[in-house]
Structure 1
Amino acid sequence: MKRNLFFIVLVLIFAQIFTLPLYGQGVFIVQKKDVASYEEVKNNFIQFSFVEQIPNLNTSPYYLDESAKDSEVLNSIAEKKPSIVFAIGSYAAKKVREAMPDVLIVAAMIYYPDAEKFSPNEKTVLIASLGSAKDLMEQIKKFRKIKKVGILHNSQISDSANLYISDLKSAGVEVADFSFTSKDEIQAIFQEVKGQIQALLVLPDSVTLNSDVIRYIVTECISADILPLSLNDRMVSSGFFFASYFSTESIGKTAAKVVKEVASSGKAPSDKIRFPSDSESSMNKGTLNAFKLKIPSGIKIGVIYE
């Protein structure tokens, strides 16, 4: 009995020894300054970190502003030898990786890792921050029959677009891929898509988020009876018909779960991209009326823009 007790105590001591360095060095938050959505993700992450009981979390974030002072901020973090950094946004994630090559990073709000040149690896986990194309199609099919969907995206994010193409196909629809290098090419694409597709998923970037481009896409889609869809709520508030997206709450919650998992294991999980379990949805009622559609019974829509 005493011998068994001795071995149990010994195991507990070794467990403390091997987990103490990771917990003792702490978890730090780094983000770019003055970005409202990043603040929301950070606040939700901190809230859920208490639920997950993440040990040694520094709840005071470190802000970067793309100035020479960023090096000082990053060096001060590196001196503390963090075990994990939660980086919000591509700028923060890349700067942390440059300053601390060996630190474990959990990163969020990076829409297109290929274009941002920040891909997940053995020391990095990405929290998916756009919505699920499959969830989107499951909702849209309740409004009308969809056989073929187009996906419109910048050619610089083709690798990421392929993931959404696979997601759409898994929802049981055919997919037509349309890429552009400048906004001038979008007009020619619309001449090609008319009569081919019943819906168009537009991936957000600096071109497609332009207010003039959004108005053009919505106008052309209504004229051609093509439902304009997005994985970004902002585009719906500007006129797109429907979006399925991950809220900042869901992103922060998922990040807290992943950080706790990494803190417990001391290594990044095998699946380097984690998807939030909860999707939100939004719809533009004016665009709904333009298509002469009605809201199906039983469908749950989080936000309806008038």
Structure 2
Amino acid sequence: MQQSITGWLWGAWLILCWACANAQPAPVLILKSREGALYEPVVQSLVNELKRKTPDLNPPIFSLTGSKTDAEIVRNLLERKPRVIVAIGTDAALQLKQHTHSLPESQRPIVVFTMVLDPVALGLVPGAEQSDPHFVGVALTVRPQRQFRALLDVAPQAKRIGVVYNPNDATSTRLIQQARDDAEKLGIQLVEASATKPEEVPQALNTLKNQIDAFWLIPDPVCAAPQPFQQIQAFVSERKLPLLAFSDSYVRRGALMAVGPDLAEQGVLAAELVQQILNGTPAETLPLLTPRRLLSYYNTAQARRIGIAIPDMLLNLAEKVFDQ
């Protein structure tokens, strides 16, 4: 009998300990903009880096769905009262900005964002040199000059670079302004065409006929969606023009080349910011981080089709070379 009571007390004590441990709010939570393969390298590198420095840190991971339930997901997450929330992707960052803005100052977590193209244009931080007391992070932005230089290494004759963008998109507009400045520094011309919706892309391409030596695809939803990309690809293939993209997925589908950030590095950089915040560094004193390492991708089959010989040195340095 005594043994039975002792066993019951021991079990009750274990349950109580488990409940107390689970009642403690997690210091760090992760919110992804969506489920899917795109964010997996970021999540994996983020978690690995956090655990490397703090082995007992095991942040729960949540995902938005792109539906009306997103608001409830964020509210439930905030009820856990985490110290830091890592927002992966633009949707997650904007949802957190919307739902934390009205919270009392003492209840607002610090949001560390990553995989956000232009956090300044989105109002997440005041500027590139200044973070917000509750928002700090890693921009996905790559300065156009770095992409243009890579293009010129492959196609030095490309002096007129065409681009289609949505002038109503704040992120695209800031990127184009940077591109104008960078093109001027490199002695090349940026030839612009605008499209406010995918249906306008063919008309925009029509204005670029006989005006460009290469095409630059930017991460603008209007022109980077599957159908507009097919139209752009057909346009450049017919004219044997180099197509410079921002992601390896477009090179796999026929772009000549792409130069873009290392997505795994986005997670590592976010983990660095999280660790500094957990160690007591005020978020507003931390800088907006940008990619340190760029990856290059080439499509040698497309290079042959348009008569371009990519130097072996560049192919050897590439993250991946496609031949299809």
- TM-score, normalized by the shorter chain, greater than 0.5: yes
Task: Work out whether residues 132 and 279 of structure 1, in 8 Å CA contact, stay in contact via their aligned partners in 2.
Answer: no
- Partner residue, 1:147: 159
Q: State the SS of the aligned residue for 1:127.
A: strand
Q: Distance in 1 between matches of 2:256 and 2:120?
A: 28
Residues of 1 paired with 2:246 and 2:188: CA distance? 17
Aligned residue identity for 2:85: V
Q: For 1:105, which of 111, 124, 132 is the aligned residue? A: 111
1:187 aligned onto 2:202: yes
2:282 equivalent in structure 1: 266
Correspondence for 1:137? 148
Residue 35 of structure 1: how far off its partner (Å): 2.3
* 1:191-249, Cα deviation, whole Å (9 max, x unpaired): 33233322221113443234332232122213334321111222211111111011321
* Larger displacement relative to structure 2 (29-38 or 263-272): 263-272
Three-state SS of the structure 1 residue aligned to 2:258 is strand
Aligned to 2:60: 60
Q: Any conservation in 2 of the 1:85–1:106 contact (CA below 8 Å)?
A: yes
What is the letter of the counterpart of residue 99 of structure 2?
A
Aligned to 1:12: none
Q: 2:305 aligns with which of 290, 293, 301?
A: 290
Q: Taking every aligned residue pair, what percent have the same amino acid on both sides?
A: 20
Report the residue type matching 2:173 in the other structure: S
Aligned: 1:96 with 2:100: no
For 1:63, the aligned partner's letter is S
Taking a change above 3 Å as real, the CA distance of residues 67 and 219 of structure 1, as seen in their structure-2 partners, is: closer
Which amino acid counterpart does residue 255 of structure 2 have in structure 1?
A: F
Name 2:36's counterpart in structure 1.
35
1:280 deviates by 0.7
The count of corresponding residues between Structure 1 and Structure 2 is 280
1:45 offset after TM fit, Å?
0.8
Residues 215 and 75 of structure 1: CA distance in aligned 2, closer, same or farther (over 3 Å): closer
Q: CA deviation at 1:88?
A: 0.9
Superimposed CA distance per residue, residues 111-138 of structure 1 (whole angstroms, 9 cap, x where no aligned partner): 35578x4532413224222544222222
* Maintained 8 Å contact 1:148/1:198: yes
TM-score, normalized by length of structure 1?
0.79
CA radius of gyration, larger in: 2
Q: Matched residues in 2 for 1:177 and 1:31: separation?
A: 34
Distance 1:207-1:228 versus aligned 2 partners, 3 A rule: same
Q: CA shift at 1:70, angstroms? A: 4.3
1:222 to 215, 223, 237: 237
Alpha-carbon separation, structure 2, partners of 1:79 and 1:283: 46
5+ long unaligned stretches in structure 2: 1-24, 102-107, 127-131
CA deviation string 1:244-283 (max 9, x = no partner): 01132121122122322343412234533x2121111111
> Helix, strand or coil: the match of 2:211?
coil
Paired position in structure 2 for 1:212: 227
Seen in structure 2, the aligned counterparts of structure 1 residues 172 and 161 have a Cα distance that, compared at 3 Å, is same
Q: 5 Å matches for 1:231-246?
A: 231-246=246-261
Q: Alignment partner of 2:165: what SS?
A: strand
Match of 1:304 in 2: 321
Residues 275 and 166 from structure 1, CA distance in 2 versus in 1: closer, same or farther, beyond 3 angstroms?
farther
Q: What displacement does 1:182 show? A: 2.5
Q: What one-letter code is carried by the residue in structure 1 that aligns with 2:30?
A: I
How far off is 1:33 after superposition?
4.2
C-alpha change, 1:83 and 1:138, in structure 2 (3 Å) is same
Change (3 A) 1:34 1:275: same
CA RMSD of aligned residues (A): 2.8
Asked if 2 retains the 8 angstrom alpha-carbon contact of 1:26 and 1:58, the reply is: no
* 2:111–2:136 Cα contact (<8 Å) kept: yes
- Asked if the contact 1:246–1:279 (Cα under 8 Å) also holds between the matched residues in 2, the reply is yes
**TM-score, length-normalised on structure 2?**
0.75
Q: After TM superposition, give the deviation of residue 57 of structure 1 in Å.
A: 4.1
